């Protein structure tokens, strides 16, 4: 796959670059460039990111960072079985537990929420940092909802992190999930309160909390293009009416000329 000229491979994280040092220099550069493309495209063009991840995987399948990138690219394309296999491979290579929550979410994607809940109660969770533990809580709550246990999902999300007034990278998503769970059981007033709190914490627009809040408040958004078209329509109607009015005298005039011709023809003695 083509690599843009502005991609050098130096953009990757220093830890990943260090992993690639086990490869020959030219090969390491090629792998690095493909990993850069994965990171660049994964949000807006997941299919493209997946393509670059497959190239990197073909070039350096024994590098943990490559397996992890391939896992995330597959995950972004909802290829959960493939993503889970790559995450497991990366974990075996590094012994790191950071991927535990996303591995559990892959189990959800594969229709195995019970397995995700088992992973949420595993000893590995205690080795996660705070962000990882919050992520695991979100996955567990999602698994509860998959199983129809809506009240249990709400309880799962209730935590010191949710109650905290400080804003962390995970705060908006945690509050959003809690609001959505409340709404699912019909607690609309509480849901509105937590969607509002999610909006306050969502500084980079990672959720659609503002839209959900507006929806609960009964605010309707009008498409600007549709509004312009509706404003132009009356003008077109008026223009059409003017053309019809202008056309009428012409028609009447033509009828008058025809009538006069008929009268003259009847009164002309030479035609008798």
Alpha-carbon distances of 31 from 62, 172, 200, rounded to whole Å: 12, 34, 40
**Do 56 and 31 contact (CB within 8 A), yes or no?**
yes
| DSSP annotation string for 184-195 | HTT-HHHHHHHH
- What are 32-90's pLDDT values in tens digits? 999 999 999 999 999 999 999 999 999 999 999 999 999 999 999 999 999 999 999 99
Q: Does 239 have pLDDT greater than 60? A: no
pTM given for the model: 0.77
| pLDDT confidence of residue 225 | 57
The tokens describing 123, both together, are: 């000893």
Q: Does 246 have pLDDT greater than 90? A: no
User: pLDDT grade, residue 210 (50/70/90)?
Assistant: very high
Q: Which pairs count as long-range contacts for 223-226, CB under 8 Å and 24+ apart, including other chains? A: none
């Amino acid at each position: 796959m083509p690599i843009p000229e502005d991609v050098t491979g130096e953009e990757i994280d220093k830890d990943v670059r260090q992993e690639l040092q086990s490869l020959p220099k030219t090969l390491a550069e090629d792998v690095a460039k493909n990993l850069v493309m994965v990171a660049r495209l994964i949000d807006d063009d997941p299919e493209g990111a997946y393509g670059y991840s497959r190239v990197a995987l073909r070039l350096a399948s024994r590098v943990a960072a490559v397996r992890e990138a391939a896992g995330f690219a597959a995950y972004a394309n909802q290829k959960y079985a493939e993503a889970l296999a790559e995450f497991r491979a990366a974990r075996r290579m590094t012994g790191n537990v950071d991927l535990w929550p996303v591995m559990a979410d892959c189990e959800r994607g594969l229709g195995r929420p019970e397995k995700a809940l088992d992973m949420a109660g595993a000893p590995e969770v205690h080795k996660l940092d705070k962000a990882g533990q919050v992520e695991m809580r979100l996955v567990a709550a999602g698994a509860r909802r998959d199983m129809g246990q809506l009240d249990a999902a709400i309880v799962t999300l209730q935590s010191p992190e949710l109650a905290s007034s400080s804003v962390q990278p995970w705060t908006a998503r945690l509050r959003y999930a809690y609001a959505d769970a409340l709404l699912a059981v019909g607690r609309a007033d509480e849901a509105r309160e937590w969607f509002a709190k999610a909006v306050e914490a969502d500084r980079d627009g990672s959720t659609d909390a503002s839209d959900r809040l507006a929806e609960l408040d009964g605010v309707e958004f009008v498409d600007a293009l549709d509004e312009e078209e509706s404003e132009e329509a009356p003008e077109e109607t008026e223009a059409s009416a003017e053309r019809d009015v202008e056309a009428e005298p012409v028609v009447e005039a033509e009828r008058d000329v025809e009538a006069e011709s008929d009268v003259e023809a009847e009164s002309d003695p030479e035609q008798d």
